Amino acid sequence: MPESPIRKLVPFAEKAKKNGTKVLHLNIGQPDIKPPNNVIKKINNFQIQSVKYSHSAGIEEYRKKLAKYYSQIAPTISYEDILITTGGSEALSTVLNCICDPNDEIIIPDPYYANYNGFSNSSNVSIQPIICRIENGFKLPSIDQFEAKINKKTKAILICNPGNPTGALYTFKEIKALAKIVKKHDIFLIADEVYREFVYDKHHHYSILGLKNIQQHTIIIDSVSKRYSMCGARIGAIVSKNKDIINTALKFSQARLSPPTFGQLAAMEALNTHKSYFKTVIEEYNKRRVLLVNTLNEIDGVICPMPKGAFYCIAQLPIRNAEVFCQWLLEEFRFKNTTVMLAPANGFYSQKNMIHNQVRIAYVLEIEKLKLAAEIIKRGLEKYQD
């Protein structure tokens, strides 16, 4: 199993903290945003008499309510097209297990969410990367490049939209082009849409659920972790109109008995959240995004494309080795008795030795802390001897 690049430098951060240094964590997508008040209230007032397994596919009432949420995108979604999982993480590994035999392949735009490596390794699936470039804002490469990678072992194209770690957001044209080749070659299009709501600058998110003619080929990975800042609830979902997928996924789900019961109850309450919650949260992320990315781009030698969605960006720094730089920040650099933890971006690329000078930054801290973090990165780069 590959080590998570997000957590690799944790021992250095822990040591810094033990020595009294404050560490600003921009390395992990753990939002500081509060979950909706109604959810917190619900959790604090659980009237629970027994602690039971739920149905392996998830609590039916929750699935029915969730179907209403998805019907805003695809009116035909019913609760039978939804299977509740232990986070988006389990949804991903279950889907790979459902569609792949050992040594099968899935195609993924690269860089990608680093745990895709862990899930594919444990399912014995090989990732075929399609390289995206920082120079053009990690735009989706041409469809020909995807098609060139398709062979007998290819089972799916997996996209993350909006993207972690790049913040890329795919256009309707791009989504449709992917759908076309997926149908042509009779494979699946899996979309990890756990950041669906987080889209900025009046851009629109196009869910593959909305594609009418390829419903037998589309699978959505979803989660409440980011949408409602409920990472610890551990609730996600697989959504597909393809009955074979849902029935096969159910067999895997039966083996693990049930998704978390309390998490489902909290997630069910989350569906009652007022729209204004998202407006406030998206405005907050947007402020952070603009502040961070503009500040970074003002630093000599830094390139940081403005992300269109999610809450991450990748920045190219004027250094030779981001891993060494990130460790140096944690071990040696202090400003106002504070330092910053970043994630070296090489762990998000399929080839470990391909990109050395990029970091992934999660803008999950409030504005004042983020300002300080950007200042620390700036001062750190000025002082750092490569």
Ligand X SMILES: Cc1ncc(COP(=O)(O)O)c(C=O)c1O
Contact residues toward ligand X (CB under 6 A) are 29, 87-89, 113, 160, 164, 192, 194, 223, 225, 231, 236
How many CA atoms lie within 13 Å of 99's alpha carbon, on the beta-carbon side? 29
What is the helix (H) or strand (E) element at residue 244, kind and residue range? helix 243-255
CA distance 240 to 226: 21
* 2 Cβ neighbours under 8 A, 6+ residues apart: 114, 117, 118, 121, 347
Distance of CA 30 to the CA centre of its chain: 11
Identify which of 379, 288, 350, 347 has the alpha carbon closest to the alpha carbon of residue 120.
Answer: 350
Extract the runs of DSSP E, i.e. beta strands, from 93-209: 105-110, 126-131, 154-160, 188-192
Q: What is the C-alpha to C-alpha distance for residues 122 and 188, in angstroms, rounded to an integer?
A: 20
Rounded-to-integer distance, Cα 229 and Cα 31, Å:
6
CB 284 within 8 A of CB 33: yes
Nearer to ligand X, 182 or 230 (CB): 230
Rounded to a whole number of angstroms, the minimum distance from the CB of residue 144 to ligand X is 26
Residue whose CB is less far from ligand X, 164 or 346:
164
Please identify, using beta-carbon distances, which residue of 161 and 327 lies nearer to ligand X: 161
Nearest distance in Å: CB 334, ligand X: 29
- Which is closer to ligand X, CB of 259 or CB of 380? 259
CB of 123 to ligand X, least distance (A): 15
Shortest distance (Å) from residue 236 CB to ligand X: 4
The answer to whether 162 and 169 have CB atoms below 8 angstroms apart is yes
Closest approach of ligand X to the CB of residue 194, in Å = 5
> Which C-beta is closer to ligand X: that of 168 or that of 296?
168
The total of other beta-carbon atoms located within 10 Å of residue 298's CB is 10
- In whole angstroms, the minimum distance from the beta carbon of 49 to ligand X comes to 28
Instruction: Give the CB-nearest residue to ligand X.
Output: 87
Minimum distance, C-beta of residue 224 to ligand X, in the bound complex (Å): 7
Residue placing its CB nearer to ligand X in the complex, 89 or 339:
89
Of 150 and 222, nearer to ligand X (C-beta) is 222
